[in-house]
Structures are given as C-alpha cells and as structure tokens.
Amino acid sequence: MTRSPYPPPPAPTAGSRSRGPDDRGCVLGLDVGGTGMKGAVFDSAMNPLGSFHRPTPRAEGPGAVVAALTDALAALARTAAEHGRQIRHAGVVVPGIVDEDLQKAVWSANIGWRDLPLASLLRDRTGLPVTLGHDVRAGGLAEAALGAARGARDTLFVAIGTGIAAAVVSDGRSVRAGGYAGELGHVVVEADGDPCACGGTGCLETVASASAVAAAYAARTGRAVSGAADVAALTERGDPAARAVWNRAADALATALATAVTLFAPQTVVIGGGLAEAGRLLLDPVETGLGARLTFQRRPALLRAELGDRAGCLGAGLVAWQEARRAPSTAPTGAPAS
C-alpha cells in the first residue's frame, strides 16, 4: 500500500482504547465549505482509504446542501464497505457559527442555514453516528495534533482566505464558547476603516483577507487582479502599490495577533489558508510587527500551516476518532440505508 501523505495521529490519550495495525475500524471525515466539500475514509493510523472532492450546492439552498451531505456520507460508507471496514464514527465540519455542545449549525452566511440540528438530521438520514464540528476549529485541531504545531499545548491557528477565522487550542483543548470563539477576523484594526459584512467597521477581514487584499490593490491602481496571489507576486517584483497593500495587511494582522497573543499566550501561531501560500513574504513582516507590539507577553513561534487544504478533513477524522474512542459505535459494516 502506498504510504499516506497524511501524517500519523498523536498517541492515544489516557483512557482511550489503543488500536493495533490489524484493527478493521475506520471513521468518515467530511469537510464542508461554501464552494466544495472534501471527504475521506480514515483507518486508525489516519491513512485515507478513499477520498473525494465535490461541489457544495449552496446556490440551491440549505436543503440541497443537507441532501448533498447525506449523499456524501453514503458514498464514504460504501468506500468503507469496499475495504471491509467497520465504521466507528463520522465527523462533519462546517463553516459559520457551530455549537458543538448542542450539535447545531447555528448560522452560516455562505450556506444559509440557521439553528439547524445538522448532526441529528444526518444521523437520521444515514443511520451513522455523526458528530458535528467547526471547519476552522477542526483545522486547528489537525495542525496541533498532526501539523505545524505538533507538541504545543497552546496554539492559535489562523485561516486566512475569503474571510479570516481562528481556532484556539488552550492546554490541549479547543476553546468553543458556544461556537463563538475564534472570530479574529472581526477584531477592529482600523477604527475609521471600511465597513465589514458583519455590520462593524475596520475589522481585520476588511484589510487582511485574501479578498480584501485583491480589492485594495484594484482600488489603488485601477487594475483588477485575479486574487491575493497576484498581489503577492507583484509585491515580490517590487511593485510599489502592491507592496503598500501587502504591508498594510501584514500590519493589520500583527495588530490583531498582538491582542490574541496577550489574551491566550499561545506557544505557536500557525497561519493557514490561501494567503499563507505566500510563505515568508507574509510571515516575516507579520513576525516583525507582532514582535514590536509585544512587551512582557510570551512570544510565540509564527509558523506556516503544514496541512494545507487537508486540515479540515483531517480534523473531521480526528474528531470522529475521539468520539469513537469515547463511546465506541455499533454502526454496521457497509453503506447505510439511503
């Protein structure tokens, strides 16, 4: 069998059931985004036995998305059956506000659902044990357990894409706060800044998100770009307008991170999402700006995420294994009833 590109999971915690190499169990992981969903079947070593990437039919409404999730879990269950594996649990992670305690998708601007008991709906429709989680918190869990922050008990994971969100891992535990923790993108960094979609003004997302960076360059120059990657490339080539936009974004990110570091004292800050693809071009000015803002605080290592767009799906798989080891499932081998 070809070695998996996915890193191995952490050692089992006290009280968890150890699993040997002959274990025939598996879990399903499903990461749902506004445009696409990634699913995988993971064995106990987090090797993917099968995976897929499908579009999210958000334009058709929340009901169509729930139906697509049901179909996706059924497809993953069929893959598990083809490998002769017993499904222990399924983890589904979604964007927006997610209350893991109530297992509800509270709100998502991207998908349009509100106060949806998504976990119970999926359990009823698939017959599988399903646990609901938040996509960025799952990504943070994966980076803390398997990725750039391995070995750190206190980590801040920041995902920078169309929007900005964060996951706080404190003393080895994810901070949830009813689903509202981690909204770093709505920390105000410019008091007289641009209006934000959240209703506020001058939020970090209006300055440092990938969409904001591209829009700021176009507004400054009158030249449209396809995205923040173009602005990064122009910055590297010395374009003065691109450099001004890029430095403003990095400075704003350093300002927001200084607040988060003061509050949570992470050992590591891991930057992920599309903007992190710029590597040191982003990390160096952010690190300099953050260092200039800190005095007595614990100074974190600033790292680029290692897992890329696999983080959410890996995190969903880790959540599923945690639940399976906490309360082993009696789910039948093979695909659930449709």
Residue 98 and residue 184 in one domain? no
Residue 61 falls within a domain, yes or no?
yes
Closest Cα to residue 163, out of 242, 272, 268? Answer: 272
Q: What is the pLDDT of residue 89?
A: 97
Apex CA 275: angle with CA 273 and CA 277, to 5°? 85
Q: What is the pLDDT of residue 2?
A: 32
Residue 87 and residue 182 in one domain? no
Number of folded domains that form the chain: 2
Residue 119 and residue 165 in one domain? no
Q: What is the pLDDT of residue 23?
A: 72
Radius of gyration of the chain (CA): 20
Residue 156 and residue 286 in one domain? yes
Residue 9 falls within a domain, yes or no?
no
Residue 8 falls within a domain, yes or no?
no
pTM for the model: 0.85
Residue 233 and residue 174 in one domain? yes
Sign of CA dihedral 127, 329, 74, 123: positive
156 vs 165: CA distance, rounded Å: 10
Q: What is the pLDDT of residue 286?
A: 98
Instruction: Express each pLDDT in 223-282 by its tens digit.
Output: 999 999 999 999 999 999 999 999 999 999 999 999 999 999 999 999 999 899 999 999
CA 288 to chain centre: 25
Q: What is the pLDDT of residue 51?
A: 96
Residue 155 and residue 301 in one domain? yes
> What amino acid occupies position 137?
R
Show the domain range for 296.
Answer: 151-305
Residue 157 and residue 259 in one domain? yes
> Which segments of the chain have a pLDDT < 70?
1-22, 327-338
What CATH number does residue 94 fall under?
3.30.420.40
Q: What is the pLDDT of residue 197?
A: 87
Environment class of residue 201 by beta-carbon count within 10 Å: exposed (0-12), middle (13-18) or buried (19+)?
A: middle
Residue 130 and residue 194 in one domain? no
Residue 172 and residue 286 in one domain? yes
